Every structure is written in structure tokens, then in C-alpha cells.
Amino acid sequence: MRLPDRRIALIEPSWAGKLSGSTLLLEAMVLTLAQKMPFAAVARTTGESWHRVHAICKRYVELALAGIDLSDVASAAIDETACKRGYNYLTLVADAEQRKVVFVTEGRDAATIEQFAAHLQARSATPGQITSVSIDMSPAFIKGVSEHLPNARITFGKFHVVARASFALDKTRRLEQKTDPDLKGLRWALLKDRDRLSVAQRADLDALVANVTTRRTARAWLYREQLRDILNRRQINVVSAMLKQWCTNVMRSRVEPMKEVARMIRKHFDGIVAWTQTRQTNGFLGALSGLFQAVERRARLPCCS
């Protein structure tokens, strides 16, 4: 605009968008449509290019990230998710208390935890304020947390431990099934929770468990259920003692697949016992991973390049 003294001045109108050349109304429309439609469809609807739509969405994501204050985050949940076909992964970090994602980066190695530590420092926080972290038993994540989150107590959630035991149970069934055809068709009766079984499945399971002295699959099922019961308890001293005894009993048995679980528990004993006190899990990130994958498909862009 021209000033009274005839100088020309540039002003930003109230309807100007956050991206040069855009209006707030256009950006609001793009952001609304992008929540439900692929970027290509948004581009056709608005008459803008795909790259323009992507630039608008990217700009608002950057603005949202710039305003994040992580000074109150004390516990974190960390998990990985595949971001496209092949072996490309994202690491997700969430505030375990608020169950809200606070950091995403490419990869699934120890360097991703180092990047998260740097992200904290850039947002009014420090790596030292993280006192509890829930992860799976990935050696890379364990190494990253140990090196870059020095005050964090690692927790391995019950879900991961019981899932390993269920895998060992199924492996035992498959091995024993080679010489005992009666075990065919019992997979889901063994893997599901007993209260979710049909009457027929429950009868089959009870008949199998009745032969616990002669069927290794039956013993493997009992070991899995004992492990689940131990991890449901809350007295850390009781859990520690019972878990050690469970490992001893399994190692003395002839259920070879379950011995792998016992070795895993002994290797990660402190983190598994920590579940007793923290009750912290990264399981909720599984559902959020699905949302990230849906967003990636909607954008029609490879999120890892």
C-alpha cells in the first residue's frame, strides 16, 4: 500500500495464509479435506497441485511441532511401525501418561533414541527428566535408552512376555503334532484366553490339560498360564521370587521351546519385573501405528526415502 509520504509498504492482510501465496480459507479447506482424502483428490477438488497441498500440510505440521512443550513428560513409550512395503520403519515415541505421540523419526536403531533426546532438548525438556520407558526387547532400543536416557527405568510390558510364551506354546504344539495327530485343530483353543473359548473348544482344552503328565503341549499351556498369573501380581518381591522359580521349573522340563522364554526372562529380568510397579506398556502405540500407516496411504507418498 502507498503511505501518505508516498512510500510503498508491504502489509500482511488478515486473510493471508501461513504459506506464501495461500489464503487462510484455502489452507483450512486443504487441511479439512486432507484428513479424509488422498492428497491427489484434495488437489483435484481445490484446483491446486499435489505439491502445493503437500506443502500446506507440511507447514502446519511444522508449526504444531514448534509449539510443543515437553517439559512435563516423565515417562515414554517407544515402538516401531512399518511405513511402507519392504523394510522401512518409523520409530514412534509417546508420552506414556497422556498417550500422545511426541516424536516420530525414520529407522528403528539406537540412533532414533539419540534423536529423541535431542528433540527433548529443543523443546524445553532434558533427556534426564525421562524416568521410565516402555519398549519391546529390541537390542537397539535397549542400547539407545541406556546411552541417551540415563535416568530411565526400562519396562518390558506383560504383553511382550506372554506373547513370547504363546509363540513357544504354539511351537511346542506343532512339534508334538508330528507324532500326535490329535493336536490338530487345537491351535486357537490353546492360544485364546479360556473365557473366550466356545463350549467345544473348552472341552478340548480340558481334555488336553488332563493329560499334562504325558503331553508336552499341555505342560507348555500350563507354563504360559502360570506366567500370566505371576505377571498379574503387584508385589515386586513375590513376582521376582515366583519368576525365578518359574524359570527354574521350565529349564528342568523337556518343553524345549518354553526354555527359550525362560532364557529371555533371565536376560531381561529387571525390565520384566519393573512391570509389576510401573504397569507401563507401549501396547497402545500399536493402534496409533495403524493411524500413521493410514495417513501415509492417504498422502500417497513413501514416508521413508
Condensed to tens digits (0 to 9), the pLDDT of residues 60-102 reads 888 887 878 899 999 999 998 887 665 688 899 999 999 888 9
In this structure, what C-alpha cell is assigned to residue 151?
535416568
For residue 302, name the pLDDT band (cuts at 50, 70, 90): very low
Q: Regarding predicted confidence, which is higher, 208 or 301?
A: 208
Q: Across residues 287-300, what is the average pLDDT?
A: 64
Burial of 79 (0-12, 13-18, 19+ CB in 10 A): buried
In this structure, what C-alpha cell is assigned to residue 107?
529407522
Gap between the Cα atoms of 285 and 278, Å rounded: 17
The DSSP symbol for 89 reads E
Q: Regarding predicted confidence, which is higher, 22 or 205?
A: 205
Residue 57 has pLDDT above 50, yes or no: yes
pLDDT tens column, 13-45: 777 777 777 888 998 999 899 888 888 888 999
Gap between the Cα atoms of 180 and 217, Å rounded: 10
In the chain, domain spans = 1-67, 75-156+282-299, 158-278
What global pTM score does this model have? 0.77
Average pLDDT, the chain: 89
- What SS3 state is found at 231? helix
* 161, HSE (Cβ side, Cα atoms, 13 Å): 33
When computed from its CA atoms, the radius of gyration of the chain, rounded to whole angstroms, is 26
User: Could you give the residue ranges of the DSSP H alpha helices within 11-157?
Assistant: 24-34, 39-46, 50-66, 110-121, 139-148
pLDDT tens column, 249-284: 999 999 999 999 999 999 999 999 999 999 998 888
Q: Which residues pair with 77 in a beta bridge?
A: 94, 134
For residue 237, name the pLDDT band (cuts at 50, 70, 90): very high
Q: Across residues 172-182, what is the average pLDDT?
A: 92
Residue 299 has pLDDT above 90, yes or no: no
Phi, psi of 39 (to 5 degrees): -60, -35
Q: Across residues 189-214, what is the average pLDDT?
A: 91
Gap between the Cα atoms of 267 and 271, Å rounded: 9
Q: Across residues 3-7, what is the average pLDDT?
A: 79
CB atoms closer than 10 angstroms to residue 100: 11
The DSSP symbol for 152 reads P
Gap between the Cα atoms of 305 and 300, Å rounded: 13
Quickly name the fold that domain 75-156+282-299 has: Nucleotidyltransferase; domain 5 (3.30.420)
- Give the alpha-carbon dihedral of 152, 153, 157, 162, to 10 degrees: 130
Q: Which residues pair with 285 in a beta bridge?
A: none
Gap between the Cα atoms of 145 and 161, Å rounded: 19
- pLDDT at position 304, please? 43
CA separation (Å) from 3 to 6, 14, 16, 50? Answer: 5, 19, 21, 39
Gap between the Cα atoms of 263 and 248, Å rounded: 10
- What SS3 state is found at 85? coil
In this structure, what C-alpha cell is assigned to residue 164?
513370547
In this structure, what C-alpha cell is assigned to residue 82?
512399518
The shares of helix, strand and coil residues in the chain, as percent rounded to the nearest 5, are 55, 10, 30
Find the length of the chain: 305
